[in-house]
Structure 1
Amino acid sequence: MVSADRKAWEQEQRKKRIVDMAEAVFFQWGYDGATLPAIAEAAGYNKRTLYLYFKDKEDIFLAVVLRGLEGLHGALKRSVARTEPKSSGLRELAAAFFDYSIDHPQYLDLIMAYESRYFVYHDRTASMDPESHLERCQQVSDDMAHLVTAAIETGMAGGGVKSDLTARQLMLILWGQIVGVMKILRMREKNFEEAFGISRRVLFDRFVGMVERALAR
């Protein structure tokens, strides 16, 4: 007779396999192009088995996105831990985002799809299941926003960041700028240095320096 612990372990392994295989499908086809039949085939299960572990395609997608968000959040947290005392850490956060974008571009694409479809920035319902993939993604996203906002507040307190915007408002603008620049740099990955006479990393660092100087005025 199979023990309860063994059964729970086997179920967790099946669930992990589904997410592993779904990740490859979403990486290749994106959210709109991925289908449940394709995920089931990749995992070696039928659709009925998928429904034993996930509600629908959205739920599987969010399980994959959660991996990406947790990876990005971890990278940002580690960058803050390396920040010099009294420094805002904005440069370190930007560098961590650059590295993650270059090393994990497919995760970043899924995170952007998640943000446009599911992320809630105001009037969140209190009835959301705290264990759902949607809520867990939301929580990690919120934690990252708080991390960047706290860095901006530190910069404001130390005089290195000057703005008539609130830290939260400035966080949104900086997030948009960095995401936009990274999108352009990724689109022009091939022969970038030959075309522009500078590496993507150096150009990104120059961009961050421009932002720092603008914020310090």
Structure 2
Amino acid sequence: MRQMAVAARREKERLQRGNAILEAARHLFFEKGYSATMDEIAKKAELGKGTLYLYFKSKDELYVSVIIEGFHVLERRMERELAKAEGPDEKTRAIYYAFVDHCLENREYFRITQYFLTEDARSKTSRELIDTINQASMRLLQYGVNAIQDGVASGLFRDDIDVIAASILGWRSATGILDLAVLDEEADSRAGTYGQLFDLAFDFLMRGMKKDRPSGRKGAGG
């Protein structure tokens, strides 16, 4: 029993140190971006620098871990919004705006993720970590794919569309607008010009996917 208690205490301490490292890294990456150093993170976490390397092989791995943490926050938000949506059109909308609102409310996660997508960042990052981010990104993308597939199956969306390409288009159009909105410190919500841009981009996406509907107008001889 004593050995079990000691093992449980050590495991708890190990988890606490790991969380302290991640919290310190998040704070510094949000503040300084990738330029934050392992020395600074160790000092912030009140741990020796060597201890950091017992949990994370490199600064890159720690940076990617913070990005993945942000992905998990987004995924939980999408799940909550999907639970309230009915039908493929509402589900597609829920996913799109969950992503937009998450990024506007968590700008630091968005900023550090966007940096990782640059050629400079990827040239310094191992293939293993790039694959980790790509797999996590595909998991998020799959939410859109599933909603669009449901729309095709229900007859709401065209059956000739590439559902993966359509999902990517939705993410990338929103990301392009977010690149502008996140730089604007006053754009703290979907109000105003940016809100109109998000709505317009989503409307274009939906119009492109939906099957043609009869206009209801009679022809010249009708």
TM-score (norm 2): 0.77
The answer to whether the Cα contact below 8 Å between 1:88 and 1:152 also exists between their aligned partners in 2 is no
- Which residue identity is paired with 2:144? V
The alpha carbon displacement at 1:201 in A equals: 3.0
> Structure 2 residue aligned with 1:211, among 202, 205, 209?
205
Given candidates 11, 17, 28, the residue that maps to 1:25 is 28
Find the structure with the greater CA-based Rg.
2
Distance 2:101 2:88 in 1: 24
Among candidates 70, 76, 79, match of residue 78 of structure 2: 76
User: What is the Cα deviation at residue 203 of structure 1?
Assistant: 4.0
The 5-angstrom pairing of residues 1-217 of structure 1 reads 3-31=6-34, 33-87=35-89, 89-115=91-117, 139-162=135-158, 164-190=160-186, 198-216=192-210, 217=212
Pairwise CA distance, 1:55: 0.9
Q: Distance in 1 between matches of 2:72 and 2:50?
A: 29
Task: Supply the distance in 2 between the matched residues of 1:22 and 1:73 (Cα, whole angstroms).
Answer: 21
What amino acid is aligned across from residue 212 of structure 1 in structure 2?
Answer: M
Number of equivalent positions: 201
TM-fit CA distance, 1:159: 3.5
User: Could you tell me how far 1:27 is from its partner in structure 2?
Assistant: 0.6
Instruction: Give CA-to-partner distance per residue, 1:109-129, whole Å, 9 cap, x none.
Output: 2233345557xxxxxx9xx7x
**By how many angstroms is 1:135 displaced?**
7.1
Q: Secondary structure at the match of 1:77?
A: helix
Q: CA deviation at 1:102?
A: 1.2
Percent of counterpart pairs with the same letter? 25
Deviation at 1:36, TM superposition (A): 0.9
Post-superposition offset of 1:210: 3.1
Distance change (3 Å), C-alpha of 1:165 and 1:37: same
Task: Give unmatched runs, 5+ long, in structure 2.
Answer: 213-222
Partner of 2:217 in structure 1?
A: none
Mapped partners of 1:192, 1:175: distance in 2: 19
Which whole-Å CA distance do the structure 1 matches of 2:38 and 2:16 have between them? Answer: 19
